[in-house]
Amino acid sequence: MAKEYTVGGSSFLDNLGKIYAIYTGGFFGFVILLAVLEQMGVPNKFIGYGFVFLTLAVYAVIGILSRTSEVGEYYVAGRTVPSFYNGMATGADWMSGASFVGMAGTLFLLGYDGLAFVLGWTGGYVLVAILIAPFLRKFGAYTVPDFFSERFGGNFARMLAVIVLICCSFTYVTAQIFATGIIASRFLDMDFTVAVYVGLLGILLCSMLGGMKAVTWTQVAQYIVLIVAYLMPVVILSAKKYGIPIPQLTYGQAIQEITNLENQMAAKGLIATSKDAAGNLVAAKPHIKPFTTYDPLNYFALILCLMVDALLHHPLGA
Amino acid sequence: MQNGTPDRYWSRTSALMWTMFALWVFFSFVVHFFVNQLNSIVILGFPLGFYMAAQGSLIVFVVMLFLFAKRQDAIDREEGVAEDR
């Protein structure tokens, strides 16, 4: 039988570093090419299309190459993914619409209170690691409901897990699809509804044929693109404004400037720091002041909820 | 194939888990109960309370994860339940 080249096969796993290094190099070359085209005056619309469709094509190719009909591979990628790459795939899960669009906006709008999301989801990851991770994989179950039914016996536990899972996933997926629609409709200049379908089609292409195996390997590719996309704007901003390209260090100075600007605006009577009697927002709230939107009880309850949410999502690889 | 007894494996794993859990409770909740007091301490332009929520606790979480994984792996190997590679 002729040796077929499949993603996840032994020759693939042995050459992982090389394959993804070539991919990363190709990605940077592609970005430079688009920059050159932009300088030459190619309209933004075409650059937008080029960017989205080319990366999507790469993911779709990976998705098709990963096609499989083995149950083990469809559900858990055959458990052969090396841990470093699995980590990349998990990271890509969370660097998605919810974070890129949703959390960025929330943090901008709510300031300190938005950090509940950051604390909740990161802390939740720690919870997953200590409570579930060591056991789920050894257990050999394919899905969390399976695990529950084996561990606690019977179908009642399983049903409970399924119900909670669907509720969590449903809201999460809705937010993701909405973000996809917004991004696609702006970037590609399409009507929102059309953009949602285009986004869904892209997702299908990447995941339907190969299941978890396809998803994992496309996520690794996406991780590289995403981490560059996340870091680049803040690094450039930090370098331009403060001369140090490490945003984590200059973050503090930016906070100080925001606070100063707020104080100036308050002195001129442009912002207020409280709500009126009916509980409506009077005007903008100080960025760093805690508990301006949520009172402490709600804030910490939100953190707890988000942690449980992470607990349920991560084992899914979702 | 296990070298040690299941009970010992479980008690070691539990002990590790509870330690990590306590740390987690501290950095997820307890530290942030004092955010207003901490905010009066300013480091590198950062009010400390805000910093803990935005970066500090997160850095601690990541370090915890690495330490936990290493520790759990060591326990697994010593008790003979580690995965064959």
Cβ density class A244-283: b for 16+ within 10 Å, e for less: eeebeebbbbbbbeebeebeeeeeeeebeeeeeeeeeeee
Q: A137-143 long-range CB contacts below 8 Å, 24 or more apart?
A: A137/A79, A137/B83, A138/B81, A138/B83, A142/A71, A142/A75, A142/A76, A143/A75, A143/A316
Per-residue model confidence (pLDDT) at position A280: 46
> From CA A286, how far away is CA A255, in angstroms rounded?
11
- Provide the pLDDT confidence category of residue A273 given band limits of 50, 70 and 90: low
Per-residue model confidence (pLDDT) at position A282: 47
Count of domains for chain A: 1
- Provide the pLDDT confidence category of residue B63 given band limits of 50, 70 and 90: very high
Question: In this complex, is the C-beta atom of B22 within 8 Å of any C-beta atom belonging to chain A?
Answer: no
Report the amino acid identity of residue A236.
I
Determine whether the interchain pair A125/B36 forms a contact, defined as Cβ–Cβ distance below 8 Å. Answer: no
Q: pLDDT at residue B61 above 80? A: yes
Stretch A296-318: mean pLDDT:
76
When mean pLDDT is compared over A91-100, B31-40, B73-82, the highest value belongs to: B31-40
pLDDT digits (tens, 9 = 90+) for A226-271: 888 888 888 988 888 888 888 888 888 888 888 888 778 777 766 6
Stretch A47-55: mean pLDDT:
80
Pick from A76-85, A119-128, A152-161, A188-197: least confident? A76-85
| Bigger pLDDT: A106 vs A6 | A106
Determine whether the interchain pair A125/B51 forms a contact, defined as Cβ–Cβ distance below 8 Å. Answer: no
Pick from A11-15, A35-39, A75-79, A94-98: least confident? A75-79
- Residue A4 included in any domain: no
Q: pLDDT at residue A1 above 60? A: no
> From CA A155, how far away is CA A132, in angstroms rounded?
20
- Neighboring chain A residues of B44 at a CB cutoff of 8 Å: 249, 252-253
Contact B75, A134 (CB under 8 A): no
- Provide the pLDDT confidence category of residue B84 given band limits of 50, 70 and 90: low
Pairing of strands B42-43, B46-47: antiparallel
- Residue A78 included in any domain: yes
Q: pLDDT at residue A285 above 70? A: no
DSSP conformational letter for A112: G
- Neighboring chain A residues of B46 at a CB cutoff of 8 Å: 251-252, 255
Determine whether the interchain pair A130/B17 forms a contact, defined as Cβ–Cβ distance below 8 Å. Answer: yes
Cβ density class A45-72: b for 16+ within 10 Å, e for less: eebbeebbeebbebbbebbebbbbeeeb
Q: pLDDT at residue A316 above 90? A: no
- Neighboring chain A residues of B39 at a CB cutoff of 8 Å: 288, 290
Question: In this complex, is the C-beta atom of A252 within 8 Å of any C-beta atom belonging to chain B?
Answer: yes
Interface predicted TM-score (ipTM) of this complex, two decimals: 0.82
The three-state secondary structure class of A285 is: coil
pLDDT digits (tens, 9 = 90+) for A193-233: 888 888 888 777 777 776 777 778 888 888 888 888 888 88
Per-residue model confidence (pLDDT) at position B1: 47
Contact B71, B13 (CB under 8 A): no
Share the mean pLDDT of chain A. Answer: 77
Q: pTM of this prediction?
A: 0.76
DSSP string, B3-30: SS-HHHHHHHHHHHHHHHHHHHHIIIII
Parent domain of A87:
10-316
Pure H helices in A188-282? 192-207, 211-242, 247-267
The three-state secondary structure class of A208 is: coil
Question: In this complex, is the C-beta atom of B50 within 8 Å of any C-beta atom belonging to chain A?
Answer: yes
Residue pointed to by tokens 């309209």 = A43
Q: What does the CA dihedral A100, A104, A106, A108 come to, rounded to 10 degrees? A: -170
- Residue A216 included in any domain: yes
- Residue A182 included in any domain: yes
Stretch A259-286: mean pLDDT:
62
Task: Tell me what percent of the residues of chain A surpass a pLDDT of 70.
Answer: 82
Total length of chain B: 85
Per-residue model confidence (pLDDT) at position B67: 92
pLDDT digits (tens, 9 = 90+) for B17-52: 899 999 999 988 888 888 888 888 888 778 888 888
pLDDT digits (tens, 9 = 90+) for A166-179: 887 788 788 888 88
Closest CA to A311 of A85, A67, A122: A122
- Residue A1 included in any domain: no
